[in-house]
Structure 1
């Protein structure tokens, strides 16, 4: 069998793309398989939805990240709506794991990856890079967020609101008032476990129908929270516009199912400007 060439890296992009800082929360939903399989087949025909004891896994993934470039720095926010899936041709290599085991990184084949269904982003350059390099279904959105911070009050609560936006003729993004969906997670007083679950394999399908995979490494463990049992109800997803494309898919895939787990990562600080003192 002839080896496949690597996908091209179009100018002006370079790979790998290095994150200077990353703040990230994901919510996982175990849901009925039929809608998941239908949506996945529409977007990624070469993939099969992973099976976790008869259910499929839909994941919401919010990221706030910083990158440093030759000309300065840039901050980007985005949300991915993903289905956990694997290449159908590799079905015999897929390990049998429970959701809890998958979330904690037991699958080291990395064939269980995130098949992107929607990616909303507030940075036009990142939108173009995601589409061009990784075949992501990426389009404009903007965000209002509250998250844990060393520069804020104590606590571990995340509130993420996603609003509609449009690309502008000058290459920017214009905000719209409409709120599409929001979610929150109240993780204070819950015990997390370290999850060595990277590299995370992200799947895309380009305009010609060719599937590709792009791994992402995070260099420290995630913190994973089991939201089943007594912790159930610590998170909530609200679809504010069920008529839009992402709203239709969220309603169809998740409906009123509670989250099964949450996972977070926040880059550690690299410096601190300390409290001043008086010179007598």
Structure 2
């Protein structure tokens, strides 16, 4: 049987090229049973991967990205809540890995991918693209953030506040003050390891129940921070403000209260130009 490719509806065009990407992900190893139940509801043809002590891996990642189009440019922010999973029919092809090996890119089959449970995004066009192209469970929200930046104070602390939103007339984002969740990652002073984990396979299940896989290439390594030691347990904090919201309920179901993160990973696009400090020129006649 010849496989067919999913359609690319107008006005979208693939691949989608990122002009710049700034991203942080936080990982937790958790009890696999709640993960399996939630995964079966949304992605019945995926199986949750297991790592140390048979635990499943859950990840939250925030992205800020820029894209250049024929008509100009646009920025997008989003948060993904994911389970690391693989297609059930392909389970016999997978290597047995620890969490550290997985996050540093040892799975060259790229079958270990992110099964998206919830995606919150501040760009209505990107929400539509995620749903129609990749079967992402994508919903509106908006963000207030503090990020490491060459244009800001020295440091490696990330803070992300995600708040509720709706899509109004003419595909405009209508922001609401209701907070959904807060994320903090204090990575200052830690040594990172280069993680060659791309391409990252993202899984979705469309309304007809078909399983989709969409790879994302990132052209430089990620930076991975090992947080498994107890001395790092306070470096990341996750606060759910809307526990009855579907995203909040899913997070609390899988993470419970106070589960420590085992790792964090970041990516920040390198600058392409710098406008330097000005200097004074002498004026008037030469002496």
Alpha-carbon distance, 1:170 to partner: 1.6
Q: Which residue of 2 aligns with 1:278?
A: 280
Q: Which residue of 2 aligns with 1:82?
A: 82
Alpha-carbon distance, 1:59 to partner: 0.4
Alpha-carbon distance, 1:81 to partner: 0.2
Map of 1:75-224 to 2, 5 A cutoff?
Answer: 75-224=75-224
Tell me how far apart the structure 2 counterparts of residues 182 and 192 of structure 1 sit (CA, whole Å). Answer: 23
Q: Deviations over 1:210-235 (max 9, x none)?
A: 10100000000000000011322210
Alpha-carbon distance, 1:94 to partner: 1.1
* SS at 2:24 equivalent: strand
Residue 227, structure 1, aligned to residue 253, structure 2: no
Map of 1:227-246 to 2, 5 A cutoff?
Answer: 227-229=227-229, 230-246=231-247
Q: Which residue of 2 aligns with 1:259?
A: 261
Alpha-carbon distance, 1:183 to partner: 0.8
Q: Which residue of 2 aligns with 1:44?
A: 43
* SS at 2:170 equivalent: coil
Unaligned runs of 5+ in 1: none
Alpha-carbon distance, 1:100 to partner: 0.5
Unaligned runs of 5+ in 2: 283-287
Tell me how far apart the structure 2 counterparts of residues 189 and 3 of structure 1 sit (CA, whole Å). Answer: 52
Tell me how far apart the structure 1 counterparts of residues 158 and 8 of structure 2 sit (CA, whole Å). Answer: 35
Tell me how far apart the structure 1 counterparts of residues 62 and 26 of structure 2 sit (CA, whole Å). Answer: 9
Tell me how far apart the structure 2 counterparts of residues 263 and 129 of structure 1 sit (CA, whole Å). Answer: 25
* SS at 1:76 equivalent: strand
**TM-score computed with the length of structure 1 as normaliser:** 0.99
Alpha-carbon distance, 1:251 to partner: 0.5
Tell me whether 250-259 or 42-51 shows the greater mean CA deviation: 250-259
Tell me how far apart the structure 1 counterparts of residues 193 and 42 of structure 2 sit (CA, whole Å). Answer: 33
Tell me how far apart the structure 2 counterparts of residues 132 and 241 of structure 1 sit (CA, whole Å). Answer: 27
**TM-score computed with the length of structure 2 as normaliser:** 0.96
Where in structure 1 do 4 or more consecutive aligned residues deviate above 4 Å? none
Tell me how far apart the structure 2 counterparts of residues 223 and 112 of structure 1 sit (CA, whole Å). Answer: 19
Tell me how far apart the structure 2 counterparts of residues 254 and 65 of structure 1 sit (CA, whole Å). Answer: 27
Alpha-carbon distance, 1:104 to partner: 0.5
Q: Deviations over 1:126-150 (max 9, x none)?
A: 0000000000000101000001000
* SS at 1:65 equivalent: strand
Alpha-carbon distance, 1:243 to partner: 1.1
Tell me how far apart the structure 1 counterparts of residues 2 and 268 of structure 2 sit (CA, whole Å). Answer: 38
Tell me how far apart the structure 2 counterparts of residues 3 and 146 of structure 1 sit (CA, whole Å). Answer: 48
Q: Which residue of 1 aligns with 2:271?
A: 269
Q: What's the C-alpha RMSD, in Å, of the aligned pairs?
A: 0.6
Tell me how far apart the structure 2 counterparts of residues 57 and 233 of structure 1 sit (CA, whole Å). Answer: 19
Equivalent pairs, count: 279
Alpha-carbon distance, 1:55 to partner: 0.3
Tell me whether 192-201 or 160-169 shows the greater mean CA deviation: 160-169
* SS at 1:278 equivalent: coil
